[in-house]
Chain A
Amino acid sequence: MAFIIALTIWAVGWWINGRLANGPRSDSRAISLLIPIIFGVTIIAMWEVLVTMLGVSPIILPPPSSIAVRFASEIPILWADFEQTILKGAMTGYVVGMIAAFGVALLADRSEFLTKGILPVGAFMAALPIVGTAPIFVKWLGSDWQSKAAVVGVMVFFPILVNTVAGLKDTSVMQRDLMRTYGAGYWPTLFKLRLPAALPFMFNGLKIATTLALIGAIVAEFFGSPTVGMGFRISTSVGQLALDMVWAEIVVAALAGSAFYGVMALIEKRATFWHPSQRS
């Protein structure tokens, strides 16, 4: 019975989406937004029906409705965790890592030799499981948000560095010659030509780093934290088998991640409005 209802929900959702996607106005903004929403609602409805009707134990998979109830009733705790992990840990680390990466990129940019050295090493470091340094930073800086900020700082440093260094190289000889005919020295060339040309690359790195920042801040809390924070709440709630609370934290993490990325994408749009990728 449960499977029949779930299949019916799926069929209805898919049929609506099929009509919308193959319809005449499928590329309009509203429809492009509506289709994934219908898809998401379909999945959640099937999840709810299957879990409640089959009597799946809430310690395996809680139904979406109980996650929503838990989310609504625990907003003060969720907010405190959000503040500790995202605002203090992830944001501080992100800003510090970003400033450090920009600084090193500008230094490296002054010498051809350093640029050649930093690009491969940075790309290599960016592929490493840096989140594993969390226990070391927790030992050094204590279990509060400072150690999380340090992990996040190191994690976001390399992708931002590599993209910035690559971006600063992305001007043509013709453009640099033009600046020289204007009599522009290093600094005017940097601010008027090379930094603006590097912006699309830099934002690429900054957008990659948003997800890394949240991952670093949450996972580092698995290695030790005060009694507040999203990673702390996830690991203790898993221990208490309160999976609806874990899902509520994951909802917060997903919202925070999308919002963070969205904000960076918005700033990018404002800052690089002249770039072909933004003018379509």
Chain B
Amino acid sequence: MNIRGIIPALVVVGVIFAIWTAAVIPMNAHLTADQAQRDGLVMTPEAPRDRQDFTGLTLAIKNPAIIPLTYTLTRPRLPSPHQVAIEMYETIFTKAPTSRRSLVYHGWVTLSATLLGFVIGTTLGVLLAVGIVYNRTMDKSVMPWAITSQTIPILALAPMIIVMLGAIGIQGLLPKSIISAYLSFFPVVVGMVKGLRSPDGMQLDLLRTYSANANQGFWKLRLPASMPYLFASLKIGISAALVGAIVGELPTGARAGFGARMLVGDQYGQPMVTWAALFGAAITAALLVAILSWIERRTLTRMGMGATA
């Protein structure tokens, strides 16, 4: 991507951050006013009960003194961007990666489950897609279910999978990976079937004139032709796998991982922990998709399909 293509995106991101920064004032005004009054400042109106009748914005206009204070609360309703950045810096760079307080540690817990599940789900998905393309019975029986599964919220199965596997003694990484695996499985099946079927009649006929057998047809035509479709599904699959691993950490009260951090921050009134975990998860998702895009570009360029990427 060239520089001129980045500028509009940067402007949009800048506007989002500006709105966020501005929203901190009204969102935190009531909390800040209560705190400032306890510290001895005079607020208008005096009684906290009366202040509830005002919106955050009018309260801030009536008491301009609290405006800078809204950015410094330790437990804000809405932390400002710099507070989240500081929390993230401290939990990523200043803590040892093995410490329970380090976001890198929690990130790795979630990421390892995501990657393991993604590999399992993708492998099974590709295998099933090959089966569907070459076996008419399988195509007719399984494909409608694979498509339907995209319309139903299978993520709702997550808590039950954890308990089910817990009851037969499987704990830790694997249950979360299984959730990640089945979430990445279906997009890969659907995308890969489409990809393996993408060669048109002309190309298949050409191979027949070369008297290529089914095996050669698969390795030399169908599989290479399916790559753009595979990568598109992989990118959907990896973000689904990450969401699956995070949600898999919620119902069992897992002690480590992004999902656990979100829950801890929520339950113990530490909003910064929740926000840092949220951004940590977002950055992880972005990195995973970026790595896949990079591999996609490299692969497709080497295969001579760079223009379509």
User: 1/0 contact trace for A108-138 toward B, CB 8 Å?
Assistant: 0000011111101100100111011101101
A254 CA / B155 CA spacing, docked (Å):
11
Find out whether the CB atom of A21 lies under 8 angstroms from the CB atom of B153. Answer: no
How many residues belonging to A are interface residues under a CB distance threshold of 8 Å? 64
Which chain B residues numbered 100 to 147 have a C-beta less than 8 Å away from chain A?
Answer: 136-137, 139-145
Cβ of A103 within 8 Å of any chain B Cβ, yes or no, is: no
Q: A261–B235 Cα gap in the complex (Å)?
A: 23
Which residues in B have their C-beta under 8 angstroms from that of A115? 8
- Tell me if A79 counts as interface (CB < 8 A to partner B): no
Question: Whole-angstrom distance between the alpha carbons of A221 and B76 in the complex?
Answer: 23
| Complex Cα spacing A230 to B157, Å | 12
Is there contact, CB below 8 Å, between A26 and B262?
no
Given the interface pairs A36-B145, A127-B286, the reply to whether A117 lies near B9 with Cβ below 8 Å is: yes
Given A132-B262, A133-B278, A211-B150: A60 and B140 interface contact (C-beta under 8 Å)? no
With an 8 A cutoff between CB atoms, is B309 at the interface? Answer: no
The prevalent SS among residues of A at the interface is helix
Cα–Cα distance between A131 and B153 once the two chains are bound (Å)? 13
Q: Is B265 an interface residue (CB 8 A)?
A: yes
29 contacts between A and B (CB under 8 A): A32-B140, A32-B144, A36-B144, A40-B145, A60-B167, A113-B8, A114-B8, A115-B8, A116-B8, A116-B9, A117-B7, A121-B9, A121-B16, A127-B289, A129-B242, A132-B246, A132-B258, A132-B259, A133-B278, A135-B266, A138-B266, A139-B266, A214-B156, A219-B250, A223-B250, A223-B266, A247-B160, A250-B157, A260-B151
A residues contacting B by CB (< 8 A) are: 14, 17-18, 20-22, 26, 32, 35-36, 38-40, 57, 59-61, 113-118, 120-121, 124, 127-129, 131-133, 135-136, 138-140, 210-211, 214-215, 218-219, 222-224, 230-231, 234-235, 238, 241, 243, 246-247, 249-250, 253-254, 257-258, 260-262
